[in-house]
Amino acid sequence: MSERVAFIGLGVMGYPMAGHLAKKGGHQVTVYNRNSAKAEAWVKEYGGKSAPTPAAAAKDADFVFACVGDDPDVRAVTTGKDGAFSAMKPGAIFIDNTTASAVVARECHAAAKAKGLHFLDAPVSGGSAGAQNGVLTVMVGGDPEPYAKAEPVIRAYARMIALMGPSGAGQHTKMVNQICIAGIVQGMSEGFALAEKVGLDVAKVVEVISKGAAQSWQMDNRYKAMMEGKFEFGFAVDWMRKDLRVSLEQAREVGARLPLTALVDQFYGDVQQMGGGRYDTCSLILRLRDKK
Selected from 121, 250, 283, 286, the binder of a copy of itself by CB under 8 A is 250
**Residue 215: count of CB within 10 angstroms of its CB:** 12
Q: Residue 46 to residues 31, 58, 116: CA-CA distances in angstroms?
A: 11, 18, 31
- Which residue, 113 or 159, has its beta carbon nearer to a copy of itself? 159
Of 18-26, 49-57, 63-71, 261-269, which segment contacts a copy of itself by CB under 8 A?
Answer: 261-269
| DSSP structure class, residue 288 | G
Q: Is 149 a catalytic residue?
A: no
User: Distance between CA atoms of 235 and 277, rounded to whole angstroms?
Assistant: 10
Q: Closest Cα to residue 100, out of 128, 81, 119?
A: 119
- Does residue number 40 form part of the binding site for a copy of itself (CB under 8 A)? no
Cβ 288 to a copy of itself shortest distance, Å: 6
- Which residue, 48 or 130, has its beta carbon nearer to a copy of itself? 130
**Is the CB of residue 196 less than 8 Å from the CB of residue 238?**
no
Q: What residue type is assigned to position 289 of the chain?
A: R
Among positions 122-181, residues that touch a copy of itself (CB under 8 A) are 125-127, 130, 137, 139, 159-160, 162, 164-165, 168-169, 172-173, 175-181
Strand pairing partners for 158? 136
- Which residue, 35 or 266, has its beta carbon nearer to a copy of itself? 266
Given the residues 23, 24, 44, 174, the one annotated as active site:
174
Cβ 13 to a copy of itself shortest distance, Å: 14
Cβ 109 to a copy of itself shortest distance, Å: 15
- Which residue, 38 or 245, has its beta carbon nearer to a copy of itself? 245
- Does residue number 182 form part of the binding site for a copy of itself (CB under 8 A)? yes
**Is the CB of residue 189 less than 8 Å from the CB of residue 260?**
no
**Is the CB of residue 124 less than 8 Å from the CB of residue 133?**
no
